[in-house]
Amino acid sequence: MIALPVTADDRRIARYTAAAIALTIAEAALPSPLPGIKPGLANIIVLLVLLRHGWRDALWVGLLRVVAGSLLLGQFLAPGFFLALAGACASLLTLAAAVRLPRRWFGAVSLSLLAAFAHIGGQILLARLWLVPHDGVFYLVPLFATAALIFGSINGLVVAQLVAVVPAPTFPLTPPEVHSS
Amino acid sequence: MNLPAELDELFSAARHGGLAWRTLLKPGDWLLLALALAAVAASYPLLWRGGSADRAIVKRDGAVLIELALNAPRKVEVMGALGPTLIEIAPGRARVLADPGPRQYCVQQGWLTRANAVAICAPSHITLQLSGPQSSYDSLNY
């Protein structure tokens, strides 16, 4: 039998990812006026992980929740999956740069706004290059940008609140009892 | 109910009130918020302007016969393959008023108002196309 060693890092990432997936699933149940306009609640978790544990962990959580979330929703490898992946990659790359902004001046709301705009940017770029090879997609940019502004701000405020109120991880990181049968 | 630790943490933060929202925003956050608001507001007129047309272009066999500004009402007659085709211009719109073609599709199309809209009088080899302030793709040429 092959045993893969599980580190504390793995457990932490898995738990945060589970929370992000839960929010992804919950959000999929919400009606949306336009495909692609969503609150992006899972990004709250990604930003929280970024501020607490750094970009590497945020990258894991951000990508894992796209893959696992799409598997659970039956969207894996469907166009929506690639759009979500493009959005997640764009926002994670942006966050890699944005996290270097002076923390004294720029808080979670800045990170969240930049990530939200990068998210729609990545999605629209992929849609333009692949799904709808026509400039007509740019017609929707103002609507997506408005959604990014609103949800980016709200998510950022939620993250700022969480970071301020719960400064350190409070959940137990000890491995749960595993019963092999 | 037993919640996962992370979600329990989220809800307990919410239950205990937390800090006033406005204290959570740093100066850079306000700046970025203002910039984002301005960019979003600017994106509406910038990207949704495409609808209006300011010129009508009349072509025969793909060659431009005449270009007309859509600012004053007038009527123009051009010579097509079957005979004269009458184009009517009004502020912001244009139409084919009369054409010798047998089925009159381009006449029945009525007023064209949007940029890149086209009326084609195929038997006469005449097309009437509107164009906007900036050229963009249309479904025929793209």
Neighbours of A172 (CB within 10 A): 10
- Ordered structural domains, chain B, with CATH: 5-49 (no CATH), 52-131 (2.60.320.10)
| Amino acid (one-letter) located at A126 | L
CA A41 distance to own-chain centroid:
8
> In CATH, what number does A9-165 get?
1.10.1760.20
Please tell me the predicted confidence (pLDDT) of residue B62.
Answer: 87
Name the strand (E) or helix (H) holding A96: helix A79-98
Contact criterion met (CB < 8 Å) for A110 and B29: yes
pLDDT below 70 — which residues of chain A? 167-181
pLDDT of residue B1: 53
DSSP per position, A8-70? HHHHHHHHHHHHHHHHHHHHHTS--SSTT----THHHHHHHHHHHH-HHHHHHHHHHHHHHHH
Residue A37: predicted pLDDT: 87
User: What ipTM did this prediction achieve?
Assistant: 0.83
- The CA distance from A1 to the nearest CA of chain B, in Å, is 30
Residue A82 CB: number of other CB atoms within 10 A?
18
Mutate which: B8, B26, B44, vs A, most A CBs within 10 A: B26
Domain boundaries, chain A: 9-165
Per-residue pLDDT of chain B (142 residues; tens, 9 = 90+): 566 676 676 666 666 666 677 788 899 999 999 999 999 999 888 777 656 778 899 999 989 999 998 888 999 999 999 999 999 998 888 999 999 989 999 999 999 888 888 899 999 999 999 887 765 555 555 4
Using the Cβ of A174 and the Cβ atoms of chain B, whether some distance falls under 8 Å is answered with: no
List of chain A residues whose C-beta atoms are within 8 Å of the C-beta of residue B50? 139
